[in-house]
Structure 1
Amino acid sequence: MSTIKDTVDVEVPLRMAYNQWTQFEDFPSFMEGVDEVRQLDDRHNHWTTSIGGVRREFDTEIVDQLADDRITWRSIEGDTEQRGSVRFERLDDTHTRVELTMDVEPTGAAEKGADALGLIDRRVKGDLRRFKDYVERGGHETGGWRGRIRPEDPGAFT
């Protein structure tokens, strides 16, 4: 399993950065290779991706979510095994640090080769930079979910 970690500072208030990240169905606007994210309920999303000609579908479950602080998830069904966390830190009234950590298990020869070449790492880090551009350019969040999801599984990634 490969671990990817990156941080970006965005020029928007903490609440705005967090709220925009909770708009999972907007992810294809800034995530390369993500064709669609359908939010199934407060805890579950269905993803469709196309990367290097390989189409994947999988479901994720949010295992921990605290408004203006963090969102932690894991894949639960489908072609992809991953888990991750995004954390939000207020720097001042108009700046927020966004830290993304992901563990990804490449499947198939193409994905394993892409991982060995660092392509998966670069793609995820590029997505974080595109989020910065997306949230700063918008001037306002397109929505926000402020609920609390607590870990139900003591072995959940946090």
Structure 2
Amino acid sequence: MSTLEEHVDVGVPVDKAWDSLHRMENFPRFLEGVRDARTEAGGRARLDIEAGGRAREVEAEVSDRAKERVMEWQTRGVPDLAGSFSLQPIDQNHTRVQARLEYDPGTVRDAFGGPRGFAQATAIERLVRSDLEHFKEYVEHGR
């Protein structure tokens, strides 16, 4: 498994960032390739994803540690992905959003195509960084 950690500082209070992160239906506004996202009973989520020219539905289990401001998720089935978002207040009006992604490069390649090896890791890193920047825009400006 490979692990990637990235963060972005956003200009909103931690409560606003936390509430925005939990609006699963808005994930397509800031997560590249997510066409639709919805919550289901029992802490499950479904995401319709298009990546590498391939469309796929991904089911994930989502759990919250609300007091710690941590949301963890794990896909069910292929691709095998796990991760978390954790939020830390910087001050009254700023929050650090930390994203952690655990993935098997071969499984991601099989599921979505794309480059191999180092090029794949670099592409995934760019995508996560870009998604965090899009979240920043979304939470600060509603775009």
Q: Do both share a fold (TM > 0.5)?
A: yes
Where do 5+ consecutive residues of structure 1 fail to align?
Answer: 140-158
Give the equivalent residue in structure 1 for 2:24.
Answer: 24
| Closer/same/farther in 2, CA of residues 87 and 102 from structure 1, 3 Å limit | same
Where do 5+ consecutive residues of structure 2 fail to align?
Answer: none
Give the equivalent residue in structure 2 for 1:56.
Answer: 56
Aligned residues: 138
**2:113 match: secondary structure:** helix
Offset of residue 100 of structure 1: 0.5
Conserved? CA contact 1:45–1:59, under 8 Å: yes
Give the equivalent residue in structure 2 for 1:66.
Answer: 66
- Given the alignment of the two structures, is residue 137 of structure 1 paired with residue 141 of structure 2, yes or no? yes
1:22 partner letter:
H
Q: TM-score, normalised by structure 1?
A: 0.79
Conserved? CA contact 1:10–1:98, under 8 Å: yes
Conserved? CA contact 1:115–1:121, under 8 Å: no
Deviations 1:135-157 (A, max 9, x none): 00029xxxxxxxxxxxxxxxxxx
More helix by share: 2
Q: Distance in 2 between matches of 1:40 and 1:120?
A: 27
Q: Distance in 1 between matches of 2:68 and 2:80?
A: 26
Offset of residue 53 of structure 1: 0.2
Deviations 1:108-148 (A, max 9, x none): 18636256312122111110110001100029xxxxxxxxx
Q: Distance in 2 between matches of 1:126 and 1:71?
A: 19
* Deviating more after overlay: 11-20 vs 117-126: 117-126
Give the equivalent residue in structure 2 for 1:102.
Answer: 101
**1:113 match: secondary structure:** coil
Q: TM-score, normalised by structure 2?
A: 0.87
Conserved? CA contact 1:6–1:125, under 8 Å: yes
